[in-house]
Structure 1
């Protein structure tokens, strides 16, 4: 194994055959993200994905894809007919897409412009996400609807305070066993908000 590959693995970096679009950022250890999954990412339609996210095959991030319905035609003339870069009149956006940390997005899910998916959330396979998803929520369907939360509100607040995804790789490796135990044991072991008494 070459030095560059060892260094990439140690740092949690991926080696992509193609670079991601300029306005797309992806956190460490997030996997299976590639340019073909990102549609029309730009300055006003950026894509930000946090750390430790699991992105299934055929997921699509529609950064800018809305057609104008108040103009004479919904056809994107500048993109297809005149081959100009769109200036916002052809393809509209509702703002950036923001995916939190530790998010699992299932196969063939579509994330629409302006959506924020909270930390720890799960997006079911085939879901079309048109509205924000709360932290640790599980959503599915077309349009995506709340199925349930992964944990109770107190546990969610504790996990959001712990923010384990900001830990160093060394700390995560050292604490790896606690990730597979009961949620309350993990919270008790790592919470800075311990009860007084």
Structure 2
């Protein structure tokens, strides 16, 4: 049975098992390289899940803050109910910003910090040490504190074509067969794989 599971995973018919100790409400897509520690995912729960797509490269020491903001509309921002009265669990006092979503084929550099409720689009690049405070468009390159757009990886038409092709949904066999086209001209790749 173990061989059949591995084969289905390699064919892209089954998700790879997530790394050990990942929070229950976090998901990591197929073939994603997740080098950061699972303990670097904070406040991940059913109201603030973390979704990471396929074929991502997540560098060491990346922080995902699924719930991290203290409410600022009360007299104090101190978590009295967590640390003094013990009337609620840790993180339950933090603001809910919804899911944090990392697209497919995203590269996040070392020591980047992703704030709650952020969406990072397919093919985006987040520079090392960046603090992502706003959504990142597909195929954008962002860096800094706060992270700002440096450039887009491709033209708008090329980005639209890549998003339509959705190569990350291909089987591993198709990816291996098409691998030479991944390292050539972007326009040749799009022409060879244009979605019909």
TM-score of the aligned structures, taking structure 2 as reference length: 0.88
| Cα pair 1:67 1:91 within 8 Å, conserved | yes
**How far did 1:176 drift?**
1.1
The answer for unaligned runs of 5 or more in structure 1 is none
Q: Which residue of 1 aligns with 2:117?
A: 114
**How far did 1:79 drift?**
3.1
**How far did 1:72 drift?**
1.8
**How far did 1:87 drift?**
7.5
Once residues 77 and 57 of structure 2 are traced to their aligned partners in structure 1, the CA distance between those partners, rounded to angstroms, is 35
Q: Give the alignment of 1:39-188 within 5 angstroms.
A: 39-83=42-86, 84-86=88-90, 88=92, 90-188=93-191
What is the CA RMSD across the aligned residues, in angstroms?
2.1
Once residues 7 and 28 of structure 2 are traced to their aligned partners in structure 1, the CA distance between those partners, rounded to angstroms, is 16
| Cα pair 2:68 2:91 within 8 Å, conserved | no
Larger RCO, structure (CA 8 Å, separation 6 or more): 2
Q: Residue deviations 1:114-159, cap 9 Å, x none?
A: 1100000000001110110000000000111000000001100000
Once residues 113 and 179 of structure 1 are traced to their aligned partners in structure 2, the CA distance between those partners, rounded to angstroms, is 33
Once residues 58 and 161 of structure 1 are traced to their aligned partners in structure 2, the CA distance between those partners, rounded to angstroms, is 32
Q: Residue deviations 1:70-117, cap 9 Å, x none?
A: 1121112233334431584x2112211000000000000000011100
The answer for unaligned runs of 5 or more in structure 2 is 11-15
Q: How many residues align?
A: 189
**How far did 1:15 drift?**
6.6
- The answer to whether 1:23 aligns with 2:21 is no
Once residues 60 and 5 of structure 1 are traced to their aligned partners in structure 2, the CA distance between those partners, rounded to angstroms, is 34
Once residues 94 and 55 of structure 1 are traced to their aligned partners in structure 2, the CA distance between those partners, rounded to angstroms, is 22
Q: Which residue of 1 aligns with 2:13?
A: none
- 4+ residue runs of structure 1 moved beyond 4 angstroms? 3-10
**How far did 1:19 drift?**
2.6
SS of residue paired to 2:33: coil
**How far did 1:174 drift?**
1.1
